[in-house]
Amino acid sequence: MGRRRVPGGGAGPVGLVLAGCVSVQFGAALAATLMPRAGALGVVTIRLVAAAVILLVVCRPKVRGYTRADWGTVLVFGATMAAMNGLFYQAVARIPLGPAVTLEVLGPLALSVLASRRAVNALWAALALVGVFLLGGAGGLGGLDPVGAAFAVGAGSMWAAYIVFSSRTGRRFPQADGLALAMAVGAVLSLPFGIVESGSKLLNPTTLALGAGVAVLSSVLPYTLELLALRRMPAPTFAILMSLEPAIAATAGFLILHQALSWTGALAIALVVAASMGAVRTQVRGALREG
């Protein structure tokens, strides 16, 4: 079987993914500045509710004509987004943005390694482990809060699921309709947690305005760009580009939050990025050979 050509698989979808990466990480940096006002779960709630309202108004998705499997995909996608954001913001509340995303990217990396089952992926896994050791060791960033690190790793597992269900949702629903419906599901699921943690703080006008900005940067814009890109490129290619997230996050953390990295910390992030990209490339080459 010959290699299947992906329509529009050139610079267009690549640009969409990279733009989404930049948007989501600078949105996360803005969210970190908002956490003292509303707490991590409060920020997640404002972000998802605002994003859901914006997407529902803009997309006006139809709710008729879908199968039970379609709705099941949307429900899982929405729950995945709520869990991914909740875990990640809990991590960012405890550890710097760059290291948080570096640990988070281990989820997609592990998925690529397990899916490929090629011997060379042992090298990529070892490279990533060296990066994680440097990141958490005394020579890196002076050690990371273990609870924050655990939240980041948990967010990574949800990130892997997000990639899978974003692609499935994009195939089952037109335009960004599936994303709008899934975002509404995520907003409903996150609302009780945000109310319990932040209460009336969620209604502060300044907090709401900043939260809306976070919603646009971290949810509406990047998720829409990624969903559109996944329709025009294979998921492994998408995962390679997403592997750049730790480097982008470290840059956003430095520029907005003044979270400087040591040379050891920068090397740790570079190793994890290289391991993630290498693992996905190995998976793509293996699939092409088998095809």
pLDDT digits (tens, 9 = 90+) for 63-78: 888 899 999 999 999 9
pLDDT in tens, 234-290: 766 676 677 778 888 888 888 888 887 778 778 888 887 787 777 667 665 655 455
The Cα–Cα gap between 125 and 209 comes to 42
Structural domains of the chain, count = 1
pLDDT in tens, 164-215: 888 888 888 887 899 899 999 999 999 999 999 988 888 889 989 998 899 8
Tell whether 7 is covered by a domain.
no
pLDDT at 10: 43
Q: How far is CA 229 from CA 71, 137, 215, 242, in A?
A: 22, 37, 20, 12
The Cα–Cα gap between 260 and 277 comes to 24
Tell whether 9 is covered by a domain.
no
- pTM of the entire structure? 0.77
pLDDT at 224: 79
Residue 90 contacts by C-beta under 8 Å, 6 or more apart in sequence?
A: 40, 41, 148, 151
The better pLDDT of the pair 109, 27 is held by: 27
Range from 40-44, 217-221, 276-280 carrying the lowest mean pLDDT: 276-280
Tell whether 2 is covered by a domain.
no
Tell whether 260 is covered by a domain.
yes
pLDDT at 135: 67
Q: Residue 95: which domain range?
A: 18-290
Angle between helices 235-242 and 106-116 (to 10 degrees): 140
Q: Residue with structure tokens 């996150």?
A: 190
Q: How far is CA 151 from CA 12, 70, 86, 191, 252, in A?
A: 34, 30, 9, 19, 20
List the one residue out of 160, 128, 139 whose CA is nearest residue 262: 139
Tell whether 4 is covered by a domain.
no
Residue 102 CB-density burial (10 A; 0-12 exposed, 13-18 middle, 19+ buried): buried
Tell whether 210 is covered by a domain.
yes
Neighbours of 142 (CB within 10 A): 10
